[in-house]
Structure 1
Amino acid sequence: MAKTIITAALTGAVTPAGYKIPETPQQIADEAYDAWKTGAAIVHLHMRADDGLGAMDKEKFRETIKLIRSHKDCDVVI
């Protein structure tokens, strides 16, 4: 039987109006952990600025990854 790898793309680089997505590092980390608990092996992350737009903010990436890794049982690939 073939194995399946599930990837969860939690925020998207561009999000159409009206879609509810996680925006803060805590929200993104919580969604990543929930995705892992329900079977995702990989999470694909984009960060959000305080205004909700996409951001390449290394501190937000660091914080989000730290929060995901704080779940010692979680071995999701980021």
Structure 2
Amino acid sequence: MTEAEIVAIAVAADDLDRDVATKYTKLEEKIQSLWDKYMGNEVSTTHFLKSVSRLYGPSDDMTADSVVGLSGEKSG
């Protein structure tokens, strides 16, 4: 393996680490937003738990705003 190949692999690994960190940062931000709404009595316990379970469940796009409660609407 040449030095150029090793560098290319290392750069790709760093990019992957950065992508994963970005996804988890967005996930934590959404969970925090849901928690804040729950603590402010803007959403019910059921709504909060279902929304968090959707965030942690299998998905093609973890960052989608289609999760209930993240696009600004108020729910009971």
The structure where strand makes up a greater share of residues is 1
Specify the structure having the higher radius of gyration (Cα). 2
Is the TM value for this pair above 0.5? no
Q: Give the TM-score taking structure 2 as reference length.
A: 0.28
